Amino acid sequence: MRSALPKVLHRVGGRTLIGHVVEAAKASGASRLSAVVGPEREDVAAEVRKRAQDASVYVQTERLGTAHAVLSAKAALGDGNDLIVAFGDTPLVRPETFARLSDALKDADIAVLGFRPNNPQGYGRLIEENGNLVAIREEKDASEAEKRITLCNAGIMAFAGRHALSLIEAIGNKNAKREYYLTDAVALARARNLNVTVCEAPEEEVMGINDRSQLAEAEAELQKRMRKAALENGVTLVAPETVFFSTDTKLGKDVTVEPNVVFGPGVIVKDGATIRAFSHLEGAEVGEGAVVGPYARLRPGTKLGAKTKIGNFVEVKAATFGDGAKANHLSYVGDASVGANANIGAGTITCNYDGYDKHKTEIGEGAFIGSNSALVAPVKVGKGAYVGTGSVVTEDVPEDALAVARGRQAVKEGWAAEVRKKRGKAPKHD
């Protein structure tokens, strides 16, 4: 990946690669999760435990192959439970696929996940006879006939608990790399007259990530999957290919999303809301029937009530808006509470940061904040109060009061004509 970040901590859809695998395993019904990590990879272990608090983590001190990695978790293998071995860099495997592998163990001793790529070159081939898998042949060792096989090895394998540990322990390292390969378990199982079967999955589901290009491909595939789900669940996407979701994005019925919208992690949009074009949302909740954008930004901690309106070039952070409240143009509202049906005029800023600490602005129900106003927090504007246009408010405004905090206008008749006379020419306009 050419990165200081471990590969499995890179993200697609706002979630780490290994996070996808853990969540899919949990959703498939797995009763126990174990992760094998490299030395000094507490960051990877922490990500696993974040998503599965009771997961066991084991360290593979030497990299001696896939079977050796599994045996690093030997303490988790001796309880007789069925085992599925997955990879932290294969994020798009669905829970249903893990469940199918598990179900296959009712009739088989090993189940291998296979796929049929458009171009099988470079992949190990799955060789079947009479419906049973008899070998996994690496391409460099395959005959010309075997190279024509289109069913390839995805790497993910399931083992019946009664045989898992003995098979994996029997794997040797008599190969060019002197490594222990998990795929050798197939030949060992056949030698013991055990039943080995294949489950198939689509190519895009078993995509592994080894570089930034493949990371981008996985992102594109996941976005396609999430867009399809949104459309099927009653969301209108005006231009689906331009909308980007996070894996935890939640959209209600009859939500409309216009082109070029990005949903970062932690967004909830309730029924009937509209997200207009070129808006960016993260860590925000949008109420029923609300309208956001175009060109709006909702940052973490934003909570909008029903029928609120956040308009073009408005940024909201750590702020709540009551039902029907509006900030339609060119404003920043941060660390604030805005009462129901209040109106924030164009160019309004809540001055929430003093260089050291954040402070809160409270705007009451039905209050009206005139355009181009600055509310210097901490400050309260009472219910039904007005703030005059262009004001800098530094003190609390009582309910139903008018606050005007600006210099009084002075007009000097003839001043401009006098200046032109003295200078002898009209000003230039570029």
Predicted confidence at residue 205, as pLDDT, reads 97
Longest dimension (CA), the chain: 109
Predicted confidence at residue 410, as pLDDT, reads 93
- Coil, helix or strand for 164? helix
Domain, as residue range, for 290: 212-403
Structure tokens at 76: 């988790």
Predicted confidence at residue 426, as pLDDT, reads 64
Predicted confidence at residue 78, as pLDDT, reads 76
Predicted confidence at residue 428, as pLDDT, reads 65
Q: Which residues, in sequence order, are CB contacts of 364 under 8 Å at separation 6+?
A: 339, 342, 380, 381, 382, 383, 384, 385, 399
Q: Are residues 272 and 140 in the same domain?
A: no
Q: Could you give the residue numbers annotated as active site?
A: 329
Predicted confidence at residue 79, as pLDDT, reads 80
Predicted confidence at residue 7, as pLDDT, reads 97
Give me the CATH number covering residue 288. 2.160.10.10
Give me the CATH number covering residue 21. 3.90.550.10
Q: Are residues 233 and 143 in the same domain?
A: no
pLDDT block averages, 10 residues each, the chain of length 430:
96 98 97 95 97 96 95 89 97 98 96 96 92 89 92 97 95 90 94 96 96 98 98 98 98 98 98 98 98 98 98 98 98 98 98 96 98 98 98 98 94 92 72
Number of domains making up the chain: 2
- Evaluate whether residue 424 is within a structural domain: no
- Cα torsion through 251, 253, 259, 265, rounded to 10: 0
